[in-house]
Structure 1
């Protein structure tokens, strides 16, 4: 052997996860104090997102060379996002109805005080207007991906329009992105420590009592997530001839990282690089993946529809077909505005429940187990966006499956 084989990222994360749970069992006081370790790791990754995404968007758009190709990719991407998230919403409703989740549950009164901290809804007009940044530097400082993508598209098209004069900028951005990937490599070395601190804090703070009291909902939620990951996504992959199992094998450590940290942003910069190695075109990869983080949240879509029906069952409030169609229609629109809204999924859930006359106490009830459900929800979002990126690349004949790189992830 040339040298000692280093443990893969996934194995390191699993070790950090196990040690975090063990510490939380031995000493909750110490576990609660370890939150800064988890937050520090997430910040290490977050600090690279904007410096990486912006130049990649510009390089990707410039690589498409013409507006017609960009328009075609954008239309295909948005159609795919809308169709798949709508199927996810319908799936959540069907699973909730078939399992009758929440029916007959004997739950104590809940405190709705925490709901006051949530936004009362999502202003769609404001959401779409804010995609156009009035100050791109401010948007970058706040880490708002959609305005950054919007500006990056125009900047990339401008570089194409000025021809050779724009090549030095593209060369600079190419070197810049390589440096950012190296920074990510440094940051990822702290992943096991970050996961250890994050898990120790979370388990110590939330414990398992809330999980036991609402265990039925958590179990059904994970059943729905598994149906999406093991039935819906493979069917989509079959239609577009995407090597889905290979994709999961190649990204499993990043999915696990998102699961343990409950942050899909942690996986974003790593996924951009990983999917390019998997075979996606950089121009497709750089556009589809960041956009999907706002418009293709499959886990959140399933959760929201499942949760609304659960609340109705808890309070023994029958839902008519009109109300079910209303739920689906509202969520089709509102789940596209989750990015950048604090407690976004709960905001959407509260707005939807209120719209069809369900009590807000039900949303407060689910806040008790949101930590546990959010882990699966986030992981499914990452899987869905990885698949979407490969699908669009395949659709555009811009996918070259690289079998030889899969060995590195095993």
Structure 2
């Protein structure tokens, strides 16, 4: 205790008067996003001209996120591979992940094609005419040979500049494996990459705080620019897609969790706000860094999540796979193209190939949809019509992609013995309910 000049007794370690003032506490990020969602929708209706100009705010936010993706992904992959016991461990984990991705996406695709065919979605739809400008440049297919060669970078710095994720992953894995072979000489390099990754996490933490502002801009722009007339016209397609997404979330994913004995429901609780954030912003990149951290706190070894999640972004697009399958059948029915069993099987095989590793291709969904549609004679004009409601569908598509990749990281970690459920001790119900 100290005596002040005025004779007042003051605690020796008393904080300054400013720090004793009540601080303004913001609601959780999820609540802020919900408020922003409402504000954006109201703004889009009340001031469409102003809202149409807000796209620059949303685009700026996405650019901030993308600015950190390559500097984050590259060191994370290098460090996670370099710290593994051997190249055999890397190969085993990659094999497990790719096999899991192929099986799950194929099951989702088969389910989607079957459900869409049986329901007859698109039959009798009057899609009307389209502006030829909307389909300009859409008539191109995927060259699988070039796509394969594109994975191997000619210039890794050019690939980094273009944000080509597959090429970056390829080089990062090779570099990480090389570092495992040079022993102690690799330690300073690994330490630098580790520090860079931590710095990127900190940058993204700052950027994420701008999310509510970006959500206002996104929602206001979409509401003002697209309106809801065409959404209502294609409401059946949108509703069926959302219903299919719900089936995967509440039936297929829980079944996978039961098979692999992983806590799916508790994982959703741990990352639920990030899933909602990806849903609203329609961007998987926005939540990549915080998702790795959240899964780490949940009990997934960061070596696994840092390796599996970026790989899943290219090879495990569950939502995109479902969308492509549903869109092909919808357009076939709408344009009167007969879907025979051979045509359905052909569509299944084409989509199985094209939806893998194409995430880095510009306008990937357009390219895949056109290529698959061309195999059964679909006109390109219909694709432009569906793109008009893509902003609605893309929210669920992105949310499902992120959920599927989170589950994949959990499954691979469990299979590698690198998952420790840190929520069991805090949740008495968890002892009884595994899923």
Superposition TM-score, scaled by structure 1 size: 0.95
1:65 shift after superposition? 2.2
Q: Give the match for residue 345 of structure 2.
A: 325
Task: Determine helix, strand or coil for the equivalent of 2:356.
Answer: helix
- Greater relative contact order structure (CA < 8 Å, 6+ sep): 1
Of residues 256-265 and 4-13 in structure 1, the stretch that sits farther from structure 2 once superposed is: 4-13
2:138 corresponds in structure 1 to 118
Other-structure match for 2:85: 65
Partner of residue 188 from structure 1, selected from 203, 208, 212: 208
Q: Deviations 1:354-395 (Å, cap 9, x if unpaired)?
A: 111122222222122111111111111111111111111111
Structure 1: gaps spanning 5 or more residues: none
Of Structure 1 and Structure 2, the greater helix share is in: 1
Of residues 111, 116, 123 in structure 2, which corresponds to 1:96? 116
Bigger mean CA deviation after superposition, 264-273 or 370-379 = 264-273
Q: Is the 8 A contact 1:122 1:337 kept in 2?
A: no
Question: Structure 1 stretch 296-305 or stretch 11-20: which is displaced more?
Answer: 11-20
CA–CA distance in 2 between the matches of 1:298 and 1:292? 9
SS in structure 2 at match of 1:108: coil
Does 2:241 align with 1:221? Answer: yes
Counterpart of 1:56 in structure 2 is 76
In the alignment, does 2:267 pair up with 1:254? Answer: no
* Alignment counterpart, residue 148 of structure 1, candidates 168, 176, 181: 168
In 1, Cα distance between equivalents of 2:335 and 2:169: 43
Identify the range of structure 1 (121-130 vs 106-115) with the bigger mean alpha-carbon deviation.
106-115
Q: How do 1:306-317 and structure 2 match up within 5 A?
A: 306-317=326-337
Structure 2 unmatched ranges of 5 or more: 1-21, 428-435
Q: Which residue of 2 aligns with 1:286?
A: 306
CA shift at 1:404, angstroms? 7.8
Question: Match for 1:342 among 349, 359, 362?
Answer: 362
Question: TM-score, normalized by length of structure 2?
Answer: 0.90
| Aligned CA distance change for structure 1 residues 162 and 405 (closer, same or farther; 3 Å) | farther
In the alignment, the residues of structure 2 paired with residue 349 and residue 336 of structure 1 have an alpha-carbon distance, to the nearest angstrom, of 13
Q: How far is the alpha carbon of 1:193 from its aligned partner?
A: 0.5
- Counterpart mapping for 1:154-303 below 5 A: 154-303=174-323
Tell me the distance in 1 between the aligned counterparts of 2:426 and 2:57.
31
Query: Equivalents in 1 of 2:336, 2:279: separation in Å?
Result: 33
Residue 109 of structure 2 corresponds to residue 105 of structure 1: no
Q: C-alpha distance in 2, partners of 1:49/1:274?
A: 17
Q: 1:12 to 1:405 in 2, by over 3 A?
A: farther
Match of 1:12 in 2: 32
Residue matched to 2:9: none
SS at match of 1:56: helix
Between the aligned partners of 2:238 and 2:355, the Cα distance in structure 1 is 20
SS of equivalent to 2:355: helix
Contact 2:79 2:194 in 1 (8 A): yes
1:396 equivalent in structure 2: 416
CA RMSD in angstroms comes to 1.7
SS of structure 2 residue aligned to 1:22? helix
